[in-house]
Structure 1
Amino acid sequence: MMKNSLKNRLFHYAGTTVLILLVSCSKFDAYLDKAESGGMTEEEVFSNYRQTERFLAQVYGTGLTIDWVGGNLWSFSYDGATDNGYCHYRYWPSPKFVYDGNLTPANNPIDQWADLYAAIRRVNMFLEKIDGLPVSSSNTEEVAGKSRMKGEAFFLRAWFYAELFKRYGGVPLISKVLQVDEDLNIPRATADEIIGFIVEDCDRAASLLPEEYSSKDLGRATAGAALALKSRMLLYAASPLHNPDNDRQKWERAAKAAQDVITMGIYQLHGSFKDVLHTRQSPEIIFQHTANYEDQLRNNLMPSQGGFSIVQPTQELVDAFEMTDGKLYNESDLYDPQQPYANRDPRLAMTVVYNLHPWRGFPIETFEGGLDGLNGSGDNYTRTGYYLAKTLDENGSLTPIWRPGSHFFVYIRYAEILLNYAEAKNESLESPDPSVYDAINQVRARTGVNMPPLPAGLNKADMRARIHNERRVELAFESHRFWDIRRWRIGEQVLKSVQGMRITRAGSEWNYERFPLENRYYKNMYDLFPIPQSEINRNSKLVQNPGYN
Structure 2
Amino acid sequence: MKNIALACLALTSLVLVSCTDDLTQIPISAATTSTFYSQTNDFLQASNAVYSDLRGFPDRQLNLSETRSDNLYAVSDGGVRDWEGINSFQKSIAANPYVSEAWTTNFNGIFRANTLLDQLQKNGKVISDAGLRTRLEAEAKFLRAFFYFDLVRFFGKVPIIDHPVTANEAIAIPRSPVKDVYALILSDLTFAASNLPETYAATDKGRATRYAAKAALALVYMTRSGPTYDIEGPGLGVSEWSQALTNLNDIITSGKYSSVSSYTSIFSYTNENNPEVIFDVQYANGLTPVVGATFPWVLVPDTWFQANGKGTQGGLTIRPAALDLVNSYTATDVRKAFSIQSGYTFNGVAETRPFIKKYVDLTRVPTNNRLDWPINFIVYRYTDILMLKAECILRGGSGGTQADVDAIVNQVRTRAGLTAITNVTFPQLLQERRKELIGEGSRWHDLVRSGLIETIMPAWIAAEDVQKQMQPFQKNYILYPVPQAELDAKPGLYTQNSGY
On the 8 A contact 1:397/1:405 being kept in 2, the answer is yes
1:221 aligns with 2:188: no
1:394 Cα deviation from its structure 2 partner: 5.2
- 1:314 CA drift (Å): 2.8
Corresponding residue of 1:315: 323
2:8 matched residue in structure 1: none
Match runs of 1:164-175 below 5 Å: 164-175=151-162
The one-letter amino acid of 1:371's match is T
CA distance in 1, matches of 2:293, 2:190: 34
Corresponding residue for residue 439 of structure 2: 477
The aligned length equals 452
Equivalence map 1:47-196=2 (5 Å): 47-68=38-59, 76=63, 78-87=65-74, 88=76, 93-104=81-92, 106-111=94-99, 112-131=102-121, 132-135=123-126, 137=128, 142-180=129-167, 182=169, 184-196=171-183
For residues 249 and 114 of structure 1, what CA distance do their matches in structure 2 show?
31
Judged with a 3 Å threshold, the aligned counterparts in structure 2 of structure 1 residues 382 and 229 are, in CA distance, closer, same or farther, namely farther
Q: Does 1:288 align with 2:280?
A: yes
1:99 CA displacement: 3.3
User: Equivalent residue for 1:493?
Assistant: 458
Offset at residue 109 of structure 1 (A) = 2.2
Question: Does the C-alpha gap of structure 1 residues 175 and 297 become closer, same or farther in structure 2, counting only changes over 3 Å?
Answer: closer
Question: Which residue number in structure 2 is paired with residue 509 of structure 1?
Answer: none
Q: 2:422 aligns with which of 455, 458, 471?
A: 455
Report whether the alignment pairs 1:532 with 2:475: no
Secondary structure of residue in 2 paired with 1:291: coil
Per-residue Cα deviation, 1:179-235 (whole angstroms, up to 9, x for no partner): 455474333322222223212111111222111112211111111111111112222
Contact persistence 1:155–1:202 (CA under 8 A): yes
Partner of 2:307: 304
How many Å apart are 1:297 and its aligned residue?
A: 6.3
Tell me which residue corresponds to 1:512: none
- Partners of 2:73 and 2:321 within 8 A in 1: yes
Aligned equivalents of 1:517 and 1:239: distance in 2? 32
Residue 104 (structure 1) shift: 3.4
Residues 1:306 and 1:240: Cα distance change in structure 2 (over 3 Å): farther
Aligned equivalent of 1:445, options 378, 400, 414 = 414
Q: Counterpart of 2:7?
A: none
Q: What is the CA distance between 1:483 and its match in structure 2?
A: 2.5
1:534 deviation in Å? 3.6
AA aligned opposite 1:18 = I
Does structure 2 conserve the Cα–Cα contact (< 8 Å) formed by 1:280 and 1:408?
yes
Q: Which amino acid aligns with 1:154?
A: K
Q: CA 1:345 to 1:243, structure 2 compared with 1: closer, same or farther past 3 Å? A: farther
TM-score by length of 1: 0.72
Shift of 1:524: 2.1
Which deviations, in whole Å up to 9, do the C-alpha atoms of 1:297-352 show, x marking residues without a partner?
6663454213556444232211222x3xxxxxxxxxxxxxxxxxx3x322112212
**CA contact 1:16–1:184 (8 Å) conserved in 2:** no
Q: Tell me, yes or no, if structure 1 residue 371 matches structure 2 residue 345.
A: yes
Distance 1:282 1:270 in 2: 8
Identity across the alignment (%): 24
Give the CA deviation at 1:160. Answer: 0.7
Equivalent position SS for 1:453: coil
Tell which has more relative contact order, 1 or 2 (C-alpha 8 A, sep 6+): 2
Tell me, in whole angstroms, the C-alpha distance in 2 between the residues paired with 1:298 and 1:10: 28
Identify, as 1 or 2, the structure richer in helix.
2
1:123 shift after superposition: 0.8
1:47 touches 1:134 (CA, 8 Å); kept in 2? no
Question: 1:259 Cα shift?
Answer: 2.4
Match of 2:427 in 1: 465
Match of 2:197 in 1: 210
**1:304–1:372: 8 Å Cα contact kept in structure 2?**
yes
1:128/1:479 CA distance change after superposition, 3 Å: same
Match of 1:502 in 2: none
Aligned-partner Cα distance in 2 for 1:297–1:143: 40
Superposed CA offset, 1:271-307 (max 9, x none)? 3211212332211111111114465666634542135
Q: SS state of the match for residue 275, structure 1?
A: helix
- Residues 524 and 247 from structure 1, CA distance in 2 versus in 1: closer, same or farther, beyond 3 angstroms? closer
RMSD of aligned residue pairs (Cα, Å): 3.7
> Is residue 336 of structure 2 the alignment partner of residue 348 of structure 1?
yes
Amino acid at match of 1:547: G
Max Rg structure: 1
Pair 1:159–1:50, CA change in 2 (3 A): same
Question: What 5-or-longer segments of structure 1 have no aligned partner?
Answer: 23-28, 33-40, 324-341, 355-365, 500-514
In 2, the alpha carbon distance for the partners of 1:228 and 1:444 equals 22
Q: Cα distance, 1:93 vs. partner?
A: 4.9
Match of 2:387 among 412, 415, 419: 419
TM-score, with structure 2 as normaliser: 0.78
Q: Does 1:269 align with 2:269?
A: no
Residue in 1 aligned with 2:9?
none
Shift of 1:383: 5.2
| 8 Å Cα contact 1:297/1:396 also seen in 2 | no
* Partner residue in 2 for 1:333: none
Structure 1 pair 170/181, CA: closer, same or farther in 2 (3 Å)?
closer
Matched, 1:542 2:494: yes
Higher strand share: 1
**Structure 1 residue aligned with 2:188:** 201
The residue matched to 2:379 in structure 1 has which SS? strand
Partner of 1:250: 240
Quick check: 235-244 or 219-228, which moved more? Answer: 235-244
Unmatched 5+ stretches in structure 2: 1-14, 285-291
Q: Secondary structure at the match of 2:255?
A: coil
The answer as to whether partners of 2:227 and 2:237 remain within 8 angstroms in 1 is: no
Deviation at 1:467, TM superposition (A): 1.1
**Letter matched to residue 265 of structure 2:** D
Q: What letter matches 1:126 in structure 2?
A: L
